[in-house]
Structure 1
Amino acid sequence: MRLHRNLVFTVIDSLMAIFNEGQYADKVVALALKKDKRWGSHDRKFVAETIYEIVRWKRLYAEIAEVKEPYDRDNIWRMFAVWAVLRGYTLPDWKYFENTPARKIKGRFDELSKIRKYRESIPDWMDELGVKELGEELWNKEIAAQNEQARVILRVNRLKTTKEKLRAILMDLDIETEFDSKYEDALILKERANVFLTQAFKDGLFEVQDASSQLVAPFLEVKPGMRVVDTCAGAGGKTLHMASLMDNKGQLIAMDLYESKLNQLKLRARRNGVHNIEPRVIEGTKTIKKLHEKADRVLIDAPCSGLGVLKRNPDSKWKLQPEFIENIKKVQAEVLENYSKIVKPGGKMVYATCSVLPSENQEQIKKFLSSESGKNFTFVKDIKVLASESGFDGFYMALLERKQ
């Protein structure tokens, strides 16, 4: 396996931006892939996957390479050399690889792999928190699963096509997919592919959405003709799923603090052929008060630590801070308190996070149900999805019903 200079230099530049300038890996990768129009799919795959790999294993590679933050360019080259040696590449005779101790690298890897925080490449605090909340045995499995590469999952848009038809369309493009009976609208790619370039995507036949995330909309039991409020809609992945389950009938209010995200949702809705969504920017308590006791269904896709989606966002391991998690728990409690008032008597609400920590999930629900607002609700059921058990993202969702 040979290393090509222009591809490797792009990887090094990208890692400098992610590690030293705090840029987000997905944005940096997207930019990197536009660098040279002559690159084929193999070249693009090398650039994207290598950047993500080194971001994912940053702590382990830095320890083996004996470099410390902030990393200078030479440090990044040393980490790249560690990656290349462990991946079985023959190092070219470039000056950056002079005196690379291949045998020592392999020895250090074997040695450090016995210690979980290095083996799974996570900060000390995250390792301690995982053990505290999930227990040693479960955390071992979960963090290992979170370090596997995320699979590409499509959600078929029922308003425009069926799973079978979409599968056939993609098969003609040499994109092979499979079904999973537990996920009604999911098509799972057998190999990664850039599905955003397909005509099927441009025609709104599908969205890219993890299988675990696809469980949320059906869990809320939405039906055509209902008034449904998505309180933390963002760019609207789950909103669009609900719209398709509602057959475009009824009213779907998509709320968010950021207008830019709702603008993205409008574009996606147009592509999806969805026209029952009404975007609303949350401008203060007034926006919420107008909706008190007005909705049949409410989704609270709460802000969270994202500790269930590390495989999808490996750089968040290095951006997250313990104080952020403490703060976000307060936000979750406030959001539950405020947005639950939108549910009308007899209506239902789902609280969901993409975290695997009980303190962000079932403990929040328990706390809410014992509060003044929570006394109006009964607990119906919940689902705890672990990456180590499902093979997909870690997620939590609880269904509550407002008393008549």
Structure 2
Amino acid sequence: MLTYPLSGSSSELVLNILTMVLNQGKPLDRAYSHNFSGLKLEPTEQARITVVAGDILRRLNLYCFIVDINADEFDRMGSKLLNGWHLFHGLELPKMQYSLQVDEKALAANIESAKQQPALWDGCPQWLDDLGQQQLKDKWPAERAALMQAPKRFIRVNELKCDRQKLIEKLAKEGVTAVSVETVPSAVEVTSDSALFRTECFKQGLFEQQDAGSQLVAAAVDAKPGMRVVDACAGAGGKTLHIAAQMQGKGRLLAMDVEQWKLDNLKTRAKRAGAHNVETRIIASSKTIKRLKLSADRVLLDVPCSGLGVLKRNPDSKWRDTAERLPILVDLQKQIIDSYSRMVKVGGILVYATCSIMPEENRLQVDRFLAEHPHFSFIDDETILSSEHGFDGFYLARMIRNEE
């Protein structure tokens, strides 16, 4: 957290970023990109801005409560909330040109009141707290508290070009401090506020930014050189590139998605990474899947989900999403696993994954699939909880096709 207040200009950037998210409905990453574009900010100052904006969004209801405003008033009352944030963390007030003052006695009373409300203190909206209690039961309080913490900064070494120790040494020469993650062989934690994407290591494709929990999902695919592998919900391809490294560039790796722009981004990343066995294909219709029936040694289905395991990294989503959206996602997941599983050949392995921690999207979805598809058998599964690992939250399950 900060040890001294934001400058006036940085305060204005925080307010602009949060106004785009809260009043204009923009995703946080796009708000960052829009506001940082063209600015020559020092990496440490940019990091301070993202720390404040991220923390405010992770506990938005708490900070609104202690200064007595509503989130939908942020475009008018944002300076009051930012002042309250500074006081909450024991900092002097930032020197903004125009700002609304905070009654410090009322603030102190509201903080004491908030301490008696665990969900509010953890920045959890009521709909999410109800869902978490229902689905995770006694594990929910620890997970709720973990999800309001700032995310750690993880990268994955690209083993097509480098090994982990050499990457750490090369980063150190560029002023980036990093350490190995003992429990994830491909993962490195960056512990400095360095501008990673300006480094020669990044330009040379020696690493990709990827959470350590996400790296466990790709590792579960256990792809071997020479295999035919399908990443059927590839997105921008973080897990695709991890699988390409497992395959040592040998064999066929088909990355598929319903959105072409994501696959275009993947092509750029694959070129930088030296992942020459990656082929992209748009899913234009069900025929795309039918043509690949019983053809793949491995199929990864990293399906669309609620994202409730990655709220540390995407805190804005919990102020947009509601429980009403969950049944729609569960139905979409069902459609995808029922249809896309046809690509797995006999003896091949299907890996189902989400960045959610809710059983309804995870083990219950897998159990339903296995009950309706007896030609598949369960191998194992894992729920990666942030409270236990410090990573983002994920789920993965492995199943084998025994017959057509």
SS at match of 1:380: strand
Query: 1:385 is matched with which residue?
Result: 384
2:197–2:203 Cα contact (<8 Å) kept? yes
Question: Are the counterparts in 2 of residues 33 and 48 from structure 1 also a CA contact under 8 Å?
Answer: no
1:94 Cα offset (Å): 5.7
Aligned partner of residue 70 in structure 1, secondary structure: helix
Tell me the distance in 1 between the aligned counterparts of 2:116 and 2:38. Answer: 39
2:231 maps to 230
- In structure 1, runs of 5+ residues without a counterpart are none
* Secondary structure of 1:375's aligned partner: coil
Please list the CA deviations of residues 68-113 of structure 1 after superposition, one character each: whole Å capped at 9, or x if unmatched: 2421533111111110111222226767456421232122112112
SS at 2:396 equivalent: strand
Q: How does 1:156-171 map to 2 (within 5 A)?
A: 156-171=157-172
Cα offsets for 1:252-299 (capped at 9, x unmatched): 111100000000000000000111111000001100000000111100
Distance in 2, Cα, partners of 1:92 & 1:345: 63
Task: In structure 2, give the amino acid aligned to 1:319.
Answer: R
Residue 377 of structure 2 aligns with an amino acid whose one-letter code is: T
In 1, are the aligned partners of 2:233 and 2:302 still within 8 Å (CA)? yes
Q: Give the number of aligned pairs.
A: 400
Give 1:1-400 correspondences, 5 Å limit: 1-34=4-37, 36-37=39-40, 39-91=41-93, 96-97=98-99, 99-135=101-137, 137-371=138-372, 374-400=373-399
Calculate the aligned-residue CA RMSD, in Å: 1.5
TM-score, normalising length from structure 2? Answer: 0.96
| Matched position secondary structure for 2:256 | strand
- Aligned residue type for 1:154: I
> Structure 1 residues 227 and 72, CA, compared in 2 at 3 Å: closer, same or farther?
closer
Is 2:7–2:94's contact at 8 Å kept on the other side of the alignment? no
SS at match of 1:73: helix
Q: CA deviation at 1:176?
A: 1.6
- Could you tell me which amino acid in structure 2 is paired with residue 7 of structure 1? S
Q: What is the SS of the residue equivalent to 2:80?
A: helix
Scaled by the length of structure 1, the TM-score of the pair is 0.96
Deviations 1:293-334 (A, max 9, x none): 011110011111001000010101112121211100001111
- Report SS of the residue matched to 1:79: helix
Farther-moved stretch of structure 1 (354-363 vs 179-188): 179-188
SS at 2:233 equivalent: coil
For the 8 Å contact 2:253–2:278, the answer to whether it is kept is yes
Instruction: Say whether the 8 Å CA contact 2:156–2:208 is kept in structure 1.
Output: yes
Percent pairwise identity? 38
| 1:32 Cα deviation from its structure 2 partner | 2.1
1:98/1:347 CA distance change after superposition, 3 Å: closer
Call closer, same or farther: CA 1:98–1:339 in 2, change over 3 Å.
Answer: closer
Moved over 6 A (4+): none
What amino acid does structure 1 have at the position aligned with 2:83?
A
